[in-house]
Structure 1
Amino acid sequence: MRDAFGAEFDVPQGYLNTPSIGIPPGVAADAVAAGVDRWRRGADTPDDFDEAVALSRQGYADLIGVPIGRVAVGTAVSQLLAPVAAGLPDGAKVLVAEGEFTSTTFPFAAQAHRGVTVTEVHLAELPAALPGHDVAAVSVVQSADGARVDLDALREARERSGVPVVLDVTQAAGWTPLRLDWADWVVAAGYKWLLSPRGAAWMAVHPRALERVIPVNAGWYAGEEPMQTVYGMPLRLAKGSRRLDLAPVWLAHLGAAAALPYLASLDLAAVHSHCAALADTLLTRLGLPARGSAIVALDADADGLAAAGVTASTRAGKARLGFHLYNTVDDVERVLDALRPRRTRPCR
């Protein structure tokens, strides 16, 4: 058990796989366990989960710096982006980063039958490449190697060109401060850095972008009063971003209702400093340049690291490691011990 930033985490030593699965604070895990116990006894009704969904929605809004009224709930990034992709005009041109996580790109690529095209550019070139496109979609922090998009440059390019922007903050929200009220769509899955169960995801929609989407997943929960839209026609959706709501995965939101408000209550500048400092300590101890990201990709064997008690993952042919608020310098030392005497290079 580790104490970190005012919470307890049952995280094993050497666990550096948060970019794949985050370890919940004890209160979040306990909330899910209590929900499972009530489920097995038939002790809940659908209305009993409304508070948890509202708390997770507010927590996400606070973490990315937007009003709660902009936030829709769903289950996965690709599911939430499907209405955005469906709303593109025929023949639309989509700009993405090379090697982008496919949950961010495939919803747009799947519109090829309508003449929609997807163009990949190097991450550093993406802001300058906005003009001439109908939308740009990019992760704030890249899943494969922790590279970060230049948000200031992207915002300026969006303002100059008028090209709407999709931001995926799945690998950024929870460990770095974000103020993204300027972006058109901001989406995230909760089971990584947001320390929630898989099955909870959120998307903030700027008011100017709401009419650009087609609610292809519309169901009863997308109504203004969900319990009043469970039967019969006509179509009657909520006026704001809630028209994109998918019926929530209840147990997932029980955990998210504890985890997201906890993260949003923290000094995220301090969390960012903690996480990036651990990652940069690892890099500099290996004779490599610091990068200021919580995610590190190394020319190393993840299976070999596992044999030394380090839990990581293999992505794009590299060993990917992530340092969250519950990690310590002991985890850095464990990686260094596993790598000696060889030297590694970071993923470029």
Structure 2
Amino acid sequence: MDPIEIREAMPALESGVYCNWGAGGPSPRRVVAAAESALEHHEYEVPAAEGMYPAAFDVYDEARTAVADLIGAEPGEIALTQSTTDGINRVAGAFDWSEDDVVVRTDLEHSAGILPWQRLEREHGVEVRVLETVDGRLDLADVKAAAEGATLFCVSSLTWTHGTRLPIRAVVDIAHDAGALALVDAVQSPGQVPVDVREWDADFVVAAGHKWLLGPFGAGFLYVREGVERDLVPAAIGYRSVDDENASDYRYAAGARRFEVGTASPAPYAGLTEAIDVVEDVGLETIQRRIETLTDRLKDGVPDDRLLSPPEYESGLVTIAADDPEGTVDRLADRGIVVRPLPTPEAVRASVHAFNSEGDVDALLEAL
């Protein structure tokens, strides 16, 4: 399936130029239809048939399988969440933290990878080390020094500030050699680049479907490497967390399921499953090639002193220096062009997907 066929089925792209996929990706009609259909089926048909809970569980199972297939995992290693932030907090809440523990993060993390650790620092005295970077790049010698004595290392696969692709396997290996577990915020990766959690060897990978995957808000996922969960006790518990909710002495469910809690609407997860089908119908290789072509076109039109992302392709995220980021975003919005400002560096960020057109890129460059 050609990306333009999908574009033509995305109402949000019918007017204006949308270049903000790194924040949220509008869904095609078939994704919204899948979510609507799941909700109608759940509310209209199954109450007097198989029952609302079994029907929802079927949707959850389908979503776990779809996510697992997408990222190279097993369904039992996938917990369904609401978002990336939700997934990171579920991991953060499962450790027995003390003042002896150390969390390492980079200075390239989104607030989802900052606030949970600040809270641990404030409430449990956990040491939080912030690994400084230059132009969206990590120095592996600095990674090794920061990881010494750490409990957990948090790093993004693609940086939301520069669009750089970080050497995740190397970072994870360093963390493991230091005795730390590794958590990867991968939310900018699925849907625009292939993801293989086996290749990364990370202990936890968090992401969500509402950006590059074209899914609806409310459908996130957490990968937990098999066996890692056995020493963790999630902060929240519910009937989806345990083997038998009616047992007098509860036992956590095997695998990542212990990180799920209670009732959730099946609609977002049905939408996520359909969105993954859309991406797979187009093909990740096709998507990646088109993103590369479009971002090359964009970067070629940006002055060298304004381009803060790498000149060569690494992702669809393109950061452009601006003297007044908020004002620039507002000015572009007046012309029907959607990008976002960044808090640091002082810049605007355009995120270009395969479903953009050459005309979109040219309009953005002209407006800039």
Instruction: In structure 1, give the amino acid aligned to 2:116.
Output: P
Does the 8 Å CA contact 2:155/2:184 hold for their aligned counterparts?
Answer: yes
For the pair 1:103 / 2:104, whether they are aligned, the reply is no
Identify the residue that residue 295 of structure 1 maps to in structure 2.
317
Equivalent of 1:121, from 109, 127, 131?
131
Per the alignment, do residues 190 and 78 of structure 1 end up closer, same or farther by CA in structure 2, a change over 3 Å counting?
same
Instruction: In structure 2, give the amino acid aligned to 1:244.
Output: F
Identify the residue that residue 192 of structure 1 maps to in structure 2.
211
Identify the residue that residue 314 of structure 1 maps to in structure 2.
341
Instruction: In structure 2, give the amino acid aligned to 1:34.
Output: S
Instruction: In structure 2, give the amino acid aligned to 1:241.
Output: A
Question: Which region of structure 1 is more displaced relative to structure 2, 315-324 or 181-190?
Answer: 315-324
Tell me how far 1:131 sits from its aligned partner. 2.7
For the pair 1:161 / 2:171, whether they are aligned, the reply is no
Distance 1:136 1:206 in 2: 15
Identify the residue that residue 325 of structure 1 maps to in structure 2.
354
Does the 8 Å CA contact 1:56/1:261 hold for their aligned counterparts?
Answer: no
Tell me how far 1:31 sits from its aligned partner. 1.3
Distance 1:118 1:253 in 2: 34
Q: Runs ≥4 in structure 1, deviation > 6 angstroms? A: none
Equivalent of 1:242, from 249, 257, 261?
257
Tell me how far 1:38 sits from its aligned partner. 4.7
Instruction: In structure 1, give the amino acid aligned to 2:354.
Output: L
For the pair 1:24 / 2:27, whether they are aligned, the reply is yes
Instruction: In structure 1, give the amino acid aligned to 2:183.
Output: V
Any gaps of 5 or more consecutive residues in structure 1?
340-348
**1:154-212 CA distances to partner (integer Å, 9 max, x unpaired)?**
24424533421100111111100111221100011221112222111111111242134
Tell me how far 1:313 sits from its aligned partner. 1.6
Question: Which region of structure 1 is more displaced relative to structure 2, 326-335 or 214-223?
Answer: 214-223
Distance 2:5 2:257 in 1: 33
Does the 8 Å CA contact 1:58/1:261 hold for their aligned counterparts?
Answer: no
SS of residue paired to 1:220? coil
SS of residue paired to 2:171? helix
**1:1-24 CA distances to partner (integer Å, 9 max, x unpaired)?**
x96176433342411111121111
Question: Which region of structure 1 is more displaced relative to structure 2, 280-289 or 39-48?
Answer: 39-48
Does the 8 Å CA contact 2:150/2:179 hold for their aligned counterparts?
Answer: no
Equivalent of 1:56, from 30, 43, 63?
63
SS of residue paired to 2:312? coil
Instruction: In structure 2, give the amino acid aligned to 1:262.
Output: V
Distance 1:55 1:24 in 2: 19
Distance 2:362 2:232 in 1: 48
Tell me how far 1:36 sits from its aligned partner. 4.5
Identity of aligned residues (%): 23
Equivalent of 1:79, from 86, 90, 112?
86
Instruction: In structure 2, give the amino acid aligned to 1:160.
Output: D
SS of residue paired to 1:221? coil
Distance 2:26 2:183 in 1: 27
For the pair 1:136 / 2:163, whether they are aligned, the reply is no
Identify the residue that residue 46 of structure 1 maps to in structure 2.
53
Identify the residue that residue 325 of structure 2 maps to in structure 1.
none
Any gaps of 5 or more consecutive residues in structure 2?
305-310, 323-327
Does the 8 Å CA contact 2:316/2:352 hold for their aligned counterparts?
Answer: yes
SS of residue paired to 1:72? strand
For the pair 1:150 / 2:167, whether they are aligned, the reply is yes
Identify the residue that residue 342 of structure 1 maps to in structure 2.
none
**1:122-166 CA distances to partner (integer Å, 9 max, x unpaired)?**
241364332332211011112233232222422442453342110
Distance 1:3 1:9 in 2: 14
**1:51-98 CA distances to partner (integer Å, 9 max, x unpaired)?**
322222122212222122111111122332234323154121111011
Instruction: In structure 2, give the amino acid aligned to 1:312.
Output: V
Distance 1:213 1:327 in 2: 43
For the pair 1:286 / 2:302, whether they are aligned, the reply is yes
Does the 8 Å CA contact 1:85/1:213 hold for their aligned counterparts?
Answer: no
Does the 8 Å CA contact 2:31/2:271 hold for their aligned counterparts?
Answer: yes
Tell me how far 1:222 sits from its aligned partner. 1.6
Tell me how far 1:28 sits from its aligned partner. 0.8
Instruction: In structure 1, give the amino acid aligned to 2:113.
Output: T
Per the alignment, do residues 213 and 84 of structure 1 end up closer, same or farther by CA in structure 2, a change over 3 Å counting?
farther
For the pair 1:93 / 2:113, whether they are aligned, the reply is no
Distance 1:6 1:68 in 2: 30
Distance 1:38 1:210 in 2: 34
Cα RMSD of the aligned pairs, angstroms, is 2.4
Distance 1:108 1:27 in 2: 38
Identify the residue that residue 271 of structure 2 maps to in structure 1.
255
Per the alignment, do residues 43 and 209 of structure 1 end up closer, same or farther by CA in structure 2, a change over 3 Å counting?
closer
Does the 8 Å CA contact 1:78/1:106 hold for their aligned counterparts?
Answer: no
Distance 1:164 1:264 in 2: 31
For the pair 1:207 / 2:226, whether they are aligned, the reply is yes
SS of residue paired to 2:197? coil
Does the 8 Å CA contact 1:84/1:214 hold for their aligned counterparts?
Answer: no
Corresponding pairs, count: 334
